[in-house]
Chain A
């Protein structure tokens, strides 16, 4: 079994050496070790910022530092896991006034295109966000934080990203007032190379 795997790896890496373009590495987002989080924030009445997060999600991405524009990412969020540290508000957020989690238990993001700037560590991920049954294109502004070997024999790469969505765009019925129409999503992602 082991020998076979090694042989396969050898064959594949030899093909790489012969001159095919290097393939991007695949990473699993480290939700198991909780080195990733999906946070949101929205203005409360226009006077302060309220934050919360989704506790349960999973995802993976492919990434090649030499060719970040070829990267892909997809994430699935369990909308039931919305957590703003307040039992009754969270119950309300799960209800049809907001996320309608009974009908739409999953939210997903699938990347379509990566636009890399002059700095290869900063790029925009354009992709489809499906939330509350509505799919819309969003652009996530991403900064790479770092990558390298971890102390336990693995290899990790991490990013942070930010985007804004309008509640109305995703058919979220509850009106929280003129100052609270837009939600910021703040994403912190660390992947472990597969």
Chain B
């Protein structure tokens, strides 16, 4: 139930997937919203604080997902899906992971560029590791922004493909990510 098997995904993978997905999309929206705020808005500081804390959370969860994925069996491919589609799906997944990590790491570097740690809801703080010059902070900002937009493009592809498989091709692609496999191994 908990672990992935050759027949499908386990509960841990499924829960992690469905926690991360809305968090990542929410954080994208929050990022855009908070940049346009008026100085006197109550969210002027709350927005960035939440953005940073949830960014740290996403990094931890995505790291966990990567470890869990590597330490579990991968489900077998659904036989009706062509090899080229499988390849496309894996490339999209690689982009999703790499994109999220680049965004998390660049965000962390921006926040800590002058030596102040990145705070997780005031409970603890991840200390700064590298200090960056003004030019490099602005470059990191551009990377953070464009990767986030790029990631949303990839997310749309990923979600559209899942819906296509569910409603048009009527295979188990989406169901596998919703219902844990029965076979425990």
Contact = CB atoms under 8 A, between A and B. Distances in A.
Interface of A: 80-82, 85-88, 90-91, 94, 101-102, 174-177
Nearest to A82: B134
Contacts of A86: 114, 116
13 contacts: A85-B114, A86-B116, A87-B112, A88-B48, A88-B110, A90-B114, A90-B137, A91-B134, A91-B137, A91-B141, A101-B134, A174-B39, A177-B39
Contacts of B141: 91
Contacts of B116: 86-87
Nearest to A84: B114
A174 B39 CA distance: 8
Interface string B129-143: 000001101100100
Contacts of A90: 114, 134, 137
A81 B134 contact: yes
A81 B134 CA distance: 7
Interface string B118-155: 00000000000000001101100100000000000000
A-B pairs, top 8 by smallest CB distance, nearest first, are A87-B114, A87-B113, A80-B134, A176-B39, A91-B137, A91-B141, A94-B134, A94-B138
Interface string B37-63: 011100000001000000000000000
B111 interface: yes
Contacts, number: 37
Contacts of B138: 91, 94, 102
B39 A87 contact: no
Contacts of B38: 175
Nearest to A56: B134
A81 B110 CA distance: 16
B39 A88 contact: no
B114 A80 contact: no
Contact of A91 (B39, B110, B112, B115): B110
Contacts of A82: 134
Nearest to B134: A80
B40 A87 contact: no
Contact of B135 (A80, A85, A88): A80
Contacts of B113: 87, 91
A88 B111 contact: yes
A69 to B, nearest CB: 38
Contacts of A87: 110-116, 137
Most chain B CB within a 10 A radius of its CB, from A81, A86, A91, A177: A91
Given A88-B48, A88-B110, A175-B38, 14 more contacts: A80-B135, A81-B134, A86-B114, A87-B112, A87-B113, A87-B116, A87-B137, A90-B134, A90-B137, A91-B134, A94-B134, A174-B39, A175-B39, A177-B40
B57 to A, nearest CB: 19
Contacts of B39: 174-177
A28 B19 CA distance: 60
A90 B141 CA distance: 12
Nearest to A93: B134
Nearest to A174: B39
A88 B117 CA distance: 12
B116 to A, nearest CB: 7
> Quick one: which of A87, A88, A90, A94 has the most chain B CB within 10 A?
A87
Contacts of B115: 87
Contacts of A85: 114
A44 to B, nearest CB: 10
